[in-house]
Structure formats: C-alpha cells, structure tokens
Structure 1
Amino acid sequence: MIPGHPQPDELVLDEPTRRLCAAVASGEAAPVRLAVVAPGGYGKSALLDLLAAGPEAARFRRGIRPDGGLLLVDDAHLLGDAALAEVADLALDDRVGLVVAARPRPRPAGLAAVLGRLRGQVVLRPFDRARLRECLTAAAGRAFPDEVVDFALATTAGIPGLVHRLAPHLRPDTTTVPPGALEEFRFDVDRLTPDATRVLVALAAGVPADLLAGLLTGPAGEAVAEARASGFLTADGSLPPLAAAALRELVPAEQRAAVLGALADQRLQRGGAMVDLAGALLAAGTSGDRAGAVYAAAAEQADPALAVRLHEAAAEAGHPVDEVRRAEAEALSGALDPALRRADAVMATATGERRAAAANVAAAALAHRGQLARSAELYQWAGSGALAAVGLLAVGRADDAEKALSANDTTAPPTLLAGAVHSAARGVLASVRTADPAALATVVRAAEMLEPVGHDALLPDSPAALGALLALHTGAAGIADSLLERALAARVGGALLEPRHRLLRSWSSLLRGEEPVLPPGDLAPRDWLFAVGLAVGAARRGTDLSTLRRTWEQAHDAVVRHPVDLFSLLPLGEFAVAAARVGDRERFAPHLAQAWDLLRDLGDPPVWSTALHWSCLHAEIIAERPDAADEHVGALAAAPGPFASALAEAAQCWRRVLRGEVDAERVDAAARGLHAVGLCWDGARLAGQAAIRTSDRKAMVSLLDCARVLQGQGSVTPQQEESSERVGARLSERELQVATLVVDGLTYKQIGDRLFISAKTVEHHMARMRARLGATSRSDLLAQLRVALDRG
C-alpha cells in the first residue's frame, strides 16, 4: 500500500456512498461500471480496499482476464498505454464488474477512453464537520473538544488525506499544527512534478497562480491541474494551512527561494502591479536584491501602512529606499514621530526638490501635532503657499496668509489637489475677512473637488474638515455632517485624517445632545484635544460632575500641550464651561486669553468668535458673574448673521430666566431657534430650565413640552398636561426642579451639584414630595413624577 494512504477501517463515507459501496461489494449492483476520480488523499485506494473485501473482487493485473466478478483498478492515471488498452477491453465485457480509481491529472488518452466506457462515478468529497469529528474519533480512539475539531477543519479544509495525516498528532489542547504532522507529507511532496511544486510553493507564499506562467516548463493550466490532483488544494484552488505549512517545511529553502526570486525577476521586467507579489515575498521572509527591488517598487503602489513595511523590507534587503517617500508613508499611516525624524534628516542633507519635499512632509506632521506656526513656516519655505496660508490664518497672521496665497507657484501643474487646497485657503481667508456666507460655499466646493484624488494626499488638514469647522461655527451642522460623511467615504487623507473627520462628525452629534463616538486607538495631539473636548462636553451635558472632574485633568493637559489656534476654538469653548463648572477657571484663564488675543489679531471675525462667546456666556453664568455674562450677550447681539442672531436671542432669554423673568413664548421661540442652528441640546436645556423656574403652571407645561420636542421625545397629550398641572400645583418651584432631575436619572449628589445644594437637602425634598403626593413608596413617587413630567 502506498505510504500515507488511509487504512480501510479509517474510511469515513457519506451515507449515499456507503450504501453504494455495500451494494457493489455484495454483488447486488452487479455488473457495475464505476469511476472513482478524485485528487490524491481523498480515499480512492481505501475505497477499493473496502470493495476488495467482497467475495468476487480481484485486483487488475496485466495479461489476466477474469471470467466474471468485480475487477478493481487503482491509480489508473499511472498505467501505461498497453495496460489501459486491456482495461478498456474489459469495460466492454458485461460479465465483469469494473471500478476504476484515478486522479484527475494526468489524463492520458487511454485513461480517457476507459472512463468514457464507464456508466457512473463514486464522488468523494471533503469531510463536513460531523464526518471530520467521526474520523478524528476513529483515529484517536477518543472524542476531541469542539475547539480541536474546529481547528482541524480550518487547518485541513476537510480534505480526507490531510485529516488522516493530522489526526494521529492531535491532542485535546492542540491549537497549532504539530511538527510531526508535517513529516507525514514527505512522500507526497517528493513525488510532485517540478511544475506542480512551483505552483504549490508560489501558492504557499501567497502568490496568485496567474503570475506563474513564465516559470513553468509546460502549460500553466496543466501545472495547476496537476497541483489540484495532488490533493493539496481545495476545490476553489486555495491551499489549506496544513498543506502550506508542509510545503514550507519540506520543500528545500533554496528551491523555494529560486521560485520566488524568479517571480520577482519576471515581475520587475514586466512592470505593473507589484503589491500582491511583494506581500507574498514579505510573508515568506524573502530577502536579497531581487526581493528588495520588488519591495521598493510595491511601496510606491501600496496603501501607507503596507508601504511603511515594504520600505523597511527593501532597506533590510539592501535596496536603495527613497527616504522622502518613506517619511510620507509613515506620516500617512499615522506614525508622525518617525516621519518627522526621517524628514528632518533629509532636510539636513538633501538639496533642491528633495529638501522641499521633505519639508512638506515635516510640515504636515507638525500640523497634526498641533504645531501650526512651525508647520506654516516650513510650508512657506518649501514654496507651498496655499498650505502655508491655512496655517498662518490659524495662528492669527491673516496678512501673511494673503501674501502667501498671492505668491502662488505658477510652475506647478494645476492639479485637482492644488486647486482644492488653494480654494479651501481662499475660503478660510474670506471667513476671517468678512461674514460672507460664500466663504463656506468656497470651502465646500474645495472639499468636493478633492474627493476623487484625496485618498493618498498628505495634508495638514482637509478641506472637508475646514468646511465642517466653518459650518459648526456658523450653525450649519447639516453641511458639516454631509462634508464629513463624503470625506470618510472617499477616504480623503487616508488613515491620518480619518480620526479628525470622525471627531468632527461626533462634535455635530454632541451639539444635538447625542452621545459622541470617539475613534479607537492612539490619536495625534490635535485629534486628542478634540477627543477630550468631546468627553468633557458629554459629561457636562449628562450632568455627570464626577466624570467631568476626572476628565478635566486630561483637558488641562491637552490644552497645555496644544497651542491655541483658530481651528481649536470648539474644544476650548467646552473647556471654558468645564473650568467654571469644576471651579478651576484661574488655571484655564491664560489659554482662554490667548484665544481672545488670537481673534483680536484677526480683527474679531464674527464667524469664528460667535460660538466662543456662547460658550463663555455659560461659563460666566455658572461662575455667577452677571456683568461678564452681559458682555458676551452684547457681543452676540452685535454680530451679524442668522446664527449669531439665534444665539443672541437665546442669550438674552437665559439672562432673564436666571433673574426669574420667564416669557414662555419668547423662550419657546429662542429654544427652537437654537435647535434650528444645530444646538439642539442647548435649545432643550433653555426651555427646560425656564420651565422649572416659572411659577406659571401653564407656562411650565408648555416649556416642558418644548424641551421634550427639541429632545425628540414628542409633545404632551391633554391627559399628561392635566396630570402635570395637578402634580405641579402641589409642588414648590424647587421641588419641581428636583423632580425633573430625579426623573432624568441623576443621583442626589449630581442634583445637588447642579442646583448648588447638598445631597441631604435633595433627600429632604424627595421626602416632602412623597408626603404631598401621597406616594406609598419611592417607586410610586417616581412613577407619578414620570407621568406628570411625561418621562415614562
């Protein structure tokens, strides 16, 4: 028997095949004319061994012609022409049953003639999970855990020959291929034809078979067919992990290196796509000059993360590497520190265009680290006027930005990238110089222009992000969402800018009162600033003072590490409110002063200052500084545009509400105005706070209704209104405030922090409400309050 073939008692058949074999062996199906055609390792010989146990079965021998019974022909693909001619004649004799087993390849003409005279075929398939478990149990004499069965199925793809080789080496805790199992394949590997070996070695290295044509002595299709016939491949032509491991172990290293090296030579001569081959060579650990050349060529075609690995592999293989392109790939993949070190080294030694290109890489990396002043200087030095202009605007140097834009490099080609960057810079400059809404439109068009070509562009910021910031600063959150969704779909700026786009989209969610979603992984300093701002904003809106206190230290650290610039005003505004809330305004004051100085240097552009005035208004309210709050109310009233008008009206309402002057209709209109400009949470909060401060029961119900609608909770029904009035009539103003916050799920401590009373006082309020409403328990009290406040 050929080594490695399963024994008859190891054969595991599906039920239809089992019944057919029983009928053939017993003679019930005589005379038969059956073919058993399957790759090696599928159990053809074991099947014939099973049939050979029948009383009239005999093996085929040259020159012996039986008078009847069942004749079994194994490995027919290996027979010579004369033997195949004898088998073909026997196929015409109705007295003789005939079962012929063969591999799909090779297929000599004589074998084709034999198979053409047979009437049926026994199909041997890969094991499913149940049959594989049965095989493992039979081979080992014990059952295996589900994890081992799943591992065996994944490792062998259910190919019977692979399963039988693996089974004796499995243990109940096996999770990797046992080394002893690989030695089982030595005979099979040794008898592979050279072309089949080349195909399998390439597939084991992850190289697609269609790259092999130039390396084979015969037709590529025939070599692949031989490889399939060997039993190493699945039906779809893939290589199961066990077979791949056996080939890597048993094919001599120099032979594998020769195949992969020849592939590298071929691809380098022909050109074209290199990434697949480079990935395969990388996975196989291939080095040397030829592999290094493939790595270097593929790095120019690969996505940044893979390009970084390929540049490194090319350098390790001794091939020259373009250090500027390597630094650019590192930056695009988010590895800012290595990119900066590499670009800085090139700037110190290179000249001309290479030095300028390295400066552009360093400038982009510095921008993502929040160092916009230094970034702008490098862009100016490298002649990238539009990119320099954006950075200069961010640090308050509008005149220098305008000069940088005017000194445009006319020698550079007018590409989509260049046009988009220049247009975005023009739009941001216009937003600083004027309050013209066309500024936002200019940046939006720039973002759309960049989408087709922005995937691999190394940028300090994207037009989409700049447009989103402008939109969020002017009450156009819907435009911000659209810009950011499109930028994410187009993968503008690759992995480097994806977190920024996601963070800005989350900022829009925060303003609506939704829970922001932070991107995973380590973030660049600028992105971390926005992530901490979102965390602070979410804690404040959730009245979670303990979380706010914990997050505040991160916020202060982020501000210390990130210089104030025009594009960081959103998180600075959140930090201003948080600083007042946690009583740490003095430590934050210098950074806030820098922000106002920056805006003054730019001429106090209302587009960028309005949102900060709104945040500082609330900081002053929390700090109980009414005069300072009125200064921000006045600044908002003086600013042009619908966004500033909505904030100004809401600010005036806030000041009146805090003085106990609640005009329900005016508050309702102001709250809905905030909602219309994207500040949904602020609008709901204004209405809710006015409701708990008014002594007019109908006004309270109306404002609570407004707050619920703005929060997306629907309006109050007549029955709920009647219940609210009935409960409200029994409760004091302070008790209504406490009731609202309790129903919202706040703890006594959180309510106390919110209302500036102790947790013990909140508990006393709850006890009095329970007595007044006749509640039998705390849960009964909460149920009544939920109905009354429409929070059920």
Structure 2
Amino acid sequence: MKTLGVSLPCPLRESIAASFLGAADLSITDPHRRLVAGITGAGGSGKSALLDLAEERYRAAGVGVVREPAVLGALPGGARRAVIVDDIQLLDDGALAQLRSVIEDGSDHVIVSYRGWPRTPVLGRLADLLEQHHPPVVLGPLGSDDLRRYLGAALGGPVPAVTLEFVAELTGGMPWLVQRVAAGLQQEPGRPDPVPAVPRGVMDLLGYELDGVDAELRELLLAMAVGFAPPRQVPPVLAGSGASIDGLLARGRAAGLLLPDGRLIPLIRRALLAATPAYRVRELQYSLVDLSTGEGVPFRDVARKLARDGLQHPRVAAELVAAADAALSDAPEAAAALYEEAAAAGTDGLSTAARRAQAAAAMGDLDGACRILDHLLAQEEAPDVARAADVAASIWAQRGMLSRGAEVYRWLGEGRAGSSAALAAVTMIGSGDLEGAVRMLEGSAPGGSPTLRAVSVALMARGVHDSLGSSPAQALPGLIRASDMMTASGQRVPLPDLPAALAALAALSSGELELAESVLEAALAGGQGGPAAYPRLKLLRAWTALQQDKPEEARSFAAEAVSAPGALAPRDDFFLAALEVALARRTGDVPALVGAWQRAREGILRVSIDLYLLLPLGELLVAGARLRDA
C-alpha cells in the first residue's frame, strides 16, 4: 500500500514504548547488558517510530547504529554497535540468516521489527531466537489514555469526550489511522460543528493509499465493507479465483487494514466505499443479498447495513419488515428503527403504517402515531385496519377522549373487528355503550390463537362487563388475572387501558385497597405496558396510597410519575390534577387546595369523562362542593 507522510509523529502505546526504551537505556549505561529484541505489530502500529526512538538513544550515547540489512554480512569488528532493521519480513532467507548470525556470534545490540505476515519458517525461527533474549514487543491499537494524550498534544489542548469517542470508534485505535485523522483535524482548527466529522482531505488521502493495495486484497476488503463475512461469505470474483481467503485476511491484518479480531476498521470501510464507483458497490450488494437469501437463514444485520447504505431491494425490505414485526410487541423502539430502514430499502409505507403507529404509540409518541394513522385511515382500502383501530382507540383513551375510540370501533364494525372485539368492548363499555359492546362481542368471529395477550384482553372485557353488575367485586378476579397475564407476556400492545389499571380501579371502588396496591406493585415490577405506561401505574399507586391515608407516599409516587421521560398524556394529567386536589383537601391546606382546584378545572376541559375517570371526577365534585364551585 502506498503511504503518504503526514506532519504528526505516529502515536505509540506509552507504557510499552517506555518499557522498551528503558531497556535500551539500560543497555547503553551497562556494558554487560546487551539488548536483542523484536518489535512486532501490524503495519502502522508504530514499529518504525519506536525503532527511530531507539536509534536516537543510541546515537546520542555515541553508539554506532547500522540500519541497512545489506551490510550485515560485512560488519567490521570493534566497538559494540546497535543493529536496527525494520520490516524484516521483507528480507530473503539469506539476509535473515545473516541477521541470525549477528545475534548468535556478536555482541552488538540487535533490534528488529516485523509484521505477523508473511511468516516464513526462517523468520519464525528467528522470532523464536529473539524471544529467548527479550519478550516480544507487541504493538497494537491505542488505549483510551494513549489516544487522549496524543490528540491533546496534536490539537493543542483538552479534547472533548465526543471527539475522543468518535476517533476511537472510527479508527479502532489503529495508530496510523489516528495519526491521519489527527493531522486532518489539526488542519481544521476551531470547527464550529460540535459533532466531529472526518476531514475531506483524510478521506481523499486514504482513498489514494488504498488504491495501492493489490487487487485481490482490495476486493476482499471492499466486500467486507459492503457486508460480506469471510471466509463463510465470499464475493463471486474471489470465490472463483482460487485465492486463499485466510491468506488474504492474514495480509489485511498484517497491513493494519483490519482490527486484530479480523473486523474491518470503520474508517477503512468509509474510505473504500467512497473511493469505489457506485455500480461496483451495487453489484456486490446484490451478490450479498443473493448469497444471504440462498443460505436460507435470517440476515437481519446484513439487511440493516445494506438499507443504511442506500440499497433498495425487495428481499432486503422483506427481511427488515419481518424483523420489525417480530420485535414490535416486545421492543417497539427497535421495531420503529427497523420499519424506517425497511422504508429506505423500498417497502411501501402504507403496508406498515399501522405497525409503525403502534410502535410510535408504545414509545409514548402519540402525536407521531396520530400523523401516521391520519394518512392511513384516509385510504379507501386501508391495510391492517383492525390494528390501526386498536392504536387509534388507545391514543384517544390516553388523550382522555374514550368516546372517540368507541367511534373508531363502531366505524370498524363487527365484521372487521376479529381479535380486536374484546378491546372494542372495553372501550365501548367505558364510554357508556354497553349494547354496542355486547353486539361487538357477539358479532365478531374469534381471531388468533389463545396467547397470553389474547386471554388477557378477553378477561379484561369480561371483567369490565361484570363490574357493571350488582356485585362489582366479582369482576376483580378476572381483571387481576388479566393483569398478571399481560405482565407475563411482556408485550407492549395498544390498549384502551392497562389491565392493572382497570383491576386497581375496580379494587379501589370496592374498598379493596391492599388488593389495588398489590396489583399495581406487581405490574410495576413486571414493567407492564413498558415505559410509556409507567406514569399511569404510578399515579394509580399514588391514589391508592392516598386512600390508605399515606399522603407522603402518595406525593412520592406522584413525583415519580411526573419525573418519567416525556409529558403526561391528558388522561394522566387529569388524574394528577385531581390527586393534587385530593391531597390538599385531606391535609387541610386551603391555599394549596385553591391552586390545585384551578389547575384541575383547566384539566377537566381537556378530557371527556368516562367510566375509568369516575374516581378523579368524584374527588373533584367533593372538592368543588367544599369550595362552592362545583
């Protein structure tokens, strides 16, 4: 590979360099000491720089230095010298034999450097001999402390943590690449952009240097940059060439183009892709898709990389959608990212719209979910419409407008509801439409298998229905089981309300305070509904503590709800306002009661009262009567 000089010295691992140079100093000051050592590492790891430092030490002490391997066979006698030879892996067997003779027969100091490849038998025996005199000096990627010191010196001051992380990740700590990036940053002082970027000159320089890599190795590196995983996956041009892939990988590591574990260095990947014509990159990407799909196993990680690199391909898109679907209920954040990548790979956005809205709502992004649904439900033949209705109803419920969610399910109708019928029933009962709920349950064909989620939702519907009977407490067992199963499922699915919340409301209305507490604690411990549901559960836990005459605990739980990331949904904000009124009223704090009452009056304007909001409404009616403002 061609290399171009830069103004900065090559960085070294300080502890290793200090230890080796200390040994060199001892060999200078003690006439009975002789230093015979080998320095090994990949290209650009600092071997030559360390040899140069050793040469400086010896010359400064008046010790003669021999750097040319050609004169090894004719060294005259006399004072002890320092024989310093770089890159001995390039020497032929004869020159290596002469070097061995100098070590075995003379008193001269001998310091050499070599890469791990190529390693001929003669070089291997010489390395073994060197190790008998001194442990090998192994150079490799820089550690964080070395990187901090080097960049600080190069850039003239403390380096921001974001820059350190950027350079470490980009270069893998490989010294020669750290040197290139530092030199580029040095030429762009005072960049206004707080996010580091690779200077254009660095990319151009690397592209030029990589042009000097022989064709087979460059082809393998380019394939790795695209996403091939050799030796299991090899591009067609190399598969048919008879080239040794293991040998090429060894050459890449020895050249400092791969990390010690064989991975392609990120900066090398960027430079290769930037310096290669787009059509060649696309050819390799299509070959990788064919190879990956031909193996008959999921290739999600490869598909993600290809999509991020701009490849549009139906099989890549399908793989990403399948991966997103698998993650949707358990990890909506990951699913959202996968759906976005699938769109970049060419997936029709309408086909995944309901699922994308579900992911957004599960993450607490109600506005984003609404925007997706508005576009989807405006279509005459909207796909995945039952899921879209579930998400829309869930959002309306969180906004404190459960009746709008009931309208969504009436629009959906019994014929299309399927497995959503139970959720529709919970929504309709909560908004006062018991007859519609019964029609929905009786008119919908059962759908899906009896999973934990499906059974939980069915129990929710039955429990809410039973709570309207003459003995509401009879609904509690079913609602508690619904909560337990939803927690056990670990899924974050669109619901008009959490089963734990419904069970707690039923328990509180029945005076079963300890039961409400235990249900909520179990749901919180199990993460029911995910982070977006946390404030709802905490607010109900606060209300339970209030009913137990534990105002300080209630305040603490309310504070935890408010401190969760993101703003409270209108329904939860109304609960909080009513809770603050209740706390002020029970503690006799009239000024606080007046202030809380004003906030609650504003809050009630943002919601429409439903069955699941009767608890805070009742508190406001009592407080309003006290303040004569009901």
- What is the TM-score of this pair, normalised by structure 2? 0.75
Q: Could you tell me whether the CA contact under 8 Å between 1:201 and 1:247 is conserved in 2? A: yes
How far did residue 45 of structure 1 move? 0.5
The verdict on how the C-alpha distance between 1:541 and 1:579 changes in structure 2, with shifts beyond 3 A counting, is same
Equivalents in 2 of 1:455, 1:449: separation in Å?
10
Q: Which among 441, 466, 485 is matched to residue 502 of structure 2?
A: 466
Equivalent residue number for residue 41 of structure 1: 44
Partner amino acid, structure 1, of 2:612:
F
Secondary structure in structure 2 of the residue aligned to 1:65: helix
Q: Note the residue ranges of structure 1 that are not aligned, 5 or more in a row.
A: 586-792
Q: Which among 445, 469, 482 is matched to residue 481 of structure 2?
A: 445
How far did residue 267 of structure 1 move? 3.8
Equivalent residue number for residue 50 of structure 1: 53
For the pair 1:301 / 2:301, whether they are aligned, the reply is: no
Q: How many residues align?
A: 581
Equivalents in 2 of 1:77, 1:540: separation in Å?
86
Deviation string 1:709-736 (CA, Å, 9 cap, x unpaired) is xxxxxxxxxxxxxxxxxxxxxxxxxxxx
Equivalents in 2 of 1:229, 1:539: separation in Å?
73
Equivalents in 2 of 1:494, 1:99: separation in Å?
61
For the pair 1:155 / 2:167, whether they are aligned, the reply is: yes
The verdict on how the C-alpha distance between 1:405 and 1:233 changes in structure 2, with shifts beyond 3 A counting, is same
The verdict on how the C-alpha distance between 1:23 and 1:160 changes in structure 2, with shifts beyond 3 A counting, is farther
- Identity score, percent: 35
Q: Could you tell me whether the CA contact under 8 Å between 1:199 and 1:223 is conserved in 2? A: yes
How far did residue 19 of structure 1 move? 0.3
Equivalents in 2 of 1:356, 1:131: separation in Å?
58
The verdict on how the C-alpha distance between 1:434 and 1:233 changes in structure 2, with shifts beyond 3 A counting, is farther
Q: Could you tell me whether the CA contact under 8 Å between 2:364 and 2:532 is conserved in 1? A: yes
Equivalents in 2 of 1:388, 1:398: separation in Å?
11
Equivalent residue number for residue 116 of structure 2: 104
Q: Could you tell me whether the CA contact under 8 Å between 1:8 and 1:47 is conserved in 2? A: no
Equivalent residue number for residue 395 of structure 2: 365
Secondary structure in structure 2 of the residue aligned to 1:385: helix
Equivalent residue number for residue 696 of structure 1: none
Q: Could you tell me whether the CA contact under 8 Å between 2:313 and 2:346 is conserved in 1? A: yes
Partner amino acid, structure 2, of 1:426:
R
- What is the TM-score of this pair, normalised by structure 1? 0.62
Equivalent residue number for residue 20 of structure 2: 17
Q: Could you tell me whether the CA contact under 8 Å between 2:473 and 2:506 is conserved in 1? A: no
Q: Which among 375, 387, 391 is matched to residue 405 of structure 2?
A: 375
The 5 A counterparts of 1:486-565 are: 486-488=522-524, 490-494=526-530, 496-511=532-547, 512-513=550-551, 514=553, 515=555, 516=558, 517=560, 518=562, 519-537=564-582, 552-565=597-610
| CA RMSD of superposed structures (Å) | 4.4
Equivalents in 2 of 1:109, 1:582: separation in Å?
96
Q: Could you tell me whether the CA contact under 8 Å between 1:431 and 1:439 is conserved in 2? A: yes
Q: Note the residue ranges of structure 2 that are not aligned, 5 or more in a row.
A: none
Equivalents in 2 of 1:159, 1:336: separation in Å?
45
Equivalent residue number for residue 73 of structure 1: 85
Equivalents in 2 of 1:469, 1:332: separation in Å?
22
The verdict on how the C-alpha distance between 1:373 and 1:482 changes in structure 2, with shifts beyond 3 A counting, is same
Partner amino acid, structure 2, of 1:21:
A
How far did residue 423 of structure 1 move? 1.5
The verdict on how the C-alpha distance between 1:110 and 1:466 changes in structure 2, with shifts beyond 3 A counting, is farther
Equivalents in 2 of 1:488, 1:326: separation in Å?
26
Q: Could you tell me whether the CA contact under 8 Å between 2:259 and 2:265 is conserved in 1? A: yes
Q: Which among 394, 418, 442 is matched to residue 454 of structure 2?
A: 418
Q: Which among 48, 59, 69 is matched to residue 61 of structure 1?
A: 69
Q: Which among 103, 127, 130 is matched to residue 118 of structure 1?
A: 130
The verdict on how the C-alpha distance between 1:65 and 1:211 changes in structure 2, with shifts beyond 3 A counting, is closer
The 5 A counterparts of 1:727-746 are: none
The 5 A counterparts of 1:578-727 are: 578-580=623-625, 584-585=629-630
How far did residue 366 of structure 1 move? 3.2
Deviation string 1:261-312 (CA, Å, 9 cap, x unpaired) is 5444444444555553454445545556565444434332343334334434
Partner amino acid, structure 2, of 1:51:
A
Q: Which among 471, 491, 502 is matched to residue 455 of structure 1?
A: 491
Once the two structures are overlaid, the 10-residue window that deviates more, 55-64 or 338-347, is 338-347
Equivalents in 1 of 2:278, 2:64: separation in Å?
50
Equivalents in 1 of 2:9, 2:336: separation in Å?
53
Partner amino acid, structure 1, of 2:129:
R
**Higher RCO (Cα < 8 Å, 6 or more apart):** 2
Partner amino acid, structure 1, of 2:87:
D
Once the two structures are overlaid, the 10-residue window that deviates more, 41-50 or 146-155, is 146-155
Q: Could you tell me whether the CA contact under 8 Å between 2:393 and 2:406 is conserved in 1? A: yes
Equivalents in 2 of 1:450, 1:12: separation in Å?
54
How far did residue 122 of structure 1 move? 1.7
Equivalents in 1 of 2:358, 2:19: separation in Å?
61
The verdict on how the C-alpha distance between 1:268 and 1:568 changes in structure 2, with shifts beyond 3 A counting, is farther
For the pair 1:395 / 2:422, whether they are aligned, the reply is: no
Q: Could you tell me whether the CA contact under 8 Å between 1:33 and 1:97 is conserved in 2? A: yes
The verdict on how the C-alpha distance between 1:289 and 1:89 changes in structure 2, with shifts beyond 3 A counting, is farther
Equivalents in 2 of 1:18, 1:246: separation in Å?
35
Partner amino acid, structure 2, of 1:388:
A
Once the two structures are overlaid, the 10-residue window that deviates more, 341-350 or 392-401, is 341-350
Partner amino acid, structure 2, of 1:33:
V
How far did residue 562 of structure 1 move? 1.8
Q: Could you tell me whether the CA contact under 8 Å between 1:60 and 1:73 is conserved in 2? A: yes
Partner amino acid, structure 2, of 1:415:
T
How far did residue 455 of structure 1 move? 1.3
The 5 A counterparts of 1:211-290 are: 213-215=233-235, 226-231=251-256, 262-270=287-295, 272-281=297-306, 283-284=308-309, 286-287=311-312
How far did residue 165 of structure 1 move? 3.0
The verdict on how the C-alpha distance between 1:99 and 1:182 changes in structure 2, with shifts beyond 3 A counting, is same
Equivalents in 1 of 2:217, 2:546: separation in Å?
60
How far did residue 386 of structure 1 move? 1.9
Q: Could you tell me whether the CA contact under 8 Å between 1:455 and 1:491 is conserved in 2? A: no
Q: Could you tell me whether the CA contact under 8 Å between 1:186 and 1:250 is conserved in 2? A: yes
The verdict on how the C-alpha distance between 1:9 and 1:268 changes in structure 2, with shifts beyond 3 A counting, is closer
Partner amino acid, structure 2, of 1:121:
P
Q: Could you tell me whether the CA contact under 8 Å between 2:23 and 2:35 is conserved in 1? A: no
How far did residue 203 of structure 1 move? 8.0
How far did residue 346 of structure 1 move? 5.1
The verdict on how the C-alpha distance between 1:348 and 1:46 changes in structure 2, with shifts beyond 3 A counting, is closer
The verdict on how the C-alpha distance between 1:411 and 1:521 changes in structure 2, with shifts beyond 3 A counting, is closer
The verdict on how the C-alpha distance between 1:342 and 1:150 changes in structure 2, with shifts beyond 3 A counting, is closer
Equivalent residue number for residue 347 of structure 2: 319
Partner amino acid, structure 2, of 1:58:
V
Deviation string 1:125-177 (CA, Å, 9 cap, x unpaired) is 6555665565456656xx51x34488347623654334433444347756524
